[in-house]
Amino acid sequence: MNTLQVIDLVHTYNDNRSAVQVLKGVNAEFEPGKIYAIVGESGSGKTTLISLISALDRVQQGDIRYGDKSIKEIGETTFRLKYVNIVFQAFNLIKYMSARENVEVTLDFSGYGKDGKARAYELLEHVGIAREAANRLVQRLSGGEQQRVAIARAMAGNVPIVVADEPTGNLDEDTTEKVLQLFRELADAGKIVIIVTHSRKVAKEANATLLRMKNGLLLAAADDKH
């Protein structure tokens, strides 16, 4: 069972002459089959952390490991493409393609094989995108629908880690519930699921292990009160 390990991660942003250390030695271990919710004040470093975990930004100090390999040994590009799927608002959806094509591209890329088209429709139906909407250009879908297409893509990708930044940020309650259900399915399929959210309700409903970013550190937050 391969876990994702974050080890003594330190990250500093340099703006002109001032340097701000956002991560001050973050340690964590993420297990397959579980959902983790990272909460914390705005500006506490949540996006920075998951950008590093998804290899969108480069590790400065410390390490990120999957199984027995460092992200540096695996290679950042390989890691980003083959190990992790990122669910940001409509991040990395291809706007001039239909929803179905977006999902199919990911299936192709992960070596799914022949019936990619049928499987893409199936995955989209799974996230509540019916055939008509599936055939529409992604840019003609609502924010909530695009969000679900992004999740269908995460399900199509044959990768062990799924990372989401405020995935339910501007979704209504019904859609939020549906999306959380999908994250649960991803975890049940054995993936490591990490969600950044400011909503305790979301963390609770996802039955997630709660972690809090505070003062540059990531802390277990199971017992804190707000």
Ligand X SMILES: Nc1ncnc2c1ncn2[C@@H]1O[C@H](COP(=O)(O)OP(=O)(O)O)[C@@H](O)[C@H]1O
The rounded distance, in Å, linking the Cα atoms of 125 and 103 is: 12
Tokens matching residue 120: 């893409």
Identify which of residues 105 and 219 has a Cβ nearer to Mg ion in the complex. 219
Binding partner of 91, given Mg ion, ligand X, none, CB within 5-8 angstroms per partner class: none
> Does residue 43 bind ligand X (CB under 6 A)?
yes
> Does residue 48 bind Mg ion (CB under 5 A)?
no
> Does residue 168 bind Mg ion (CB under 5 A)?
no
Identify which of residues 47 and 106 has a Cβ nearer to Mg ion in the complex. 47
Report in angstroms how near the CB of residue 110 gets to ligand X at its nearest. Answer: 28
> Does residue 91 bind ligand X (CB under 6 A)?
no
Sole binder of ligand X in the list 48, 98, 147, 209 (CB under 6 A): 48
Report in angstroms how near the CB of residue 41 gets to ligand X at its nearest. Answer: 7
Report in angstroms how near the CB of residue 126 gets to Mg ion at its nearest. Answer: 28
Report in angstroms how near the CB of residue 108 gets to ligand X at its nearest. Answer: 32
Report in angstroms how near the CB of residue 14 gets to ligand X at its nearest. Answer: 8
> Does residue 106 bind Mg ion (CB under 5 A)?
no
> Does residue 47 bind Mg ion (CB under 5 A)?
yes
> Does residue 44 bind ligand X (CB under 6 A)?
yes
Binding interface with Mg ion (CB under 5 A): 46-47
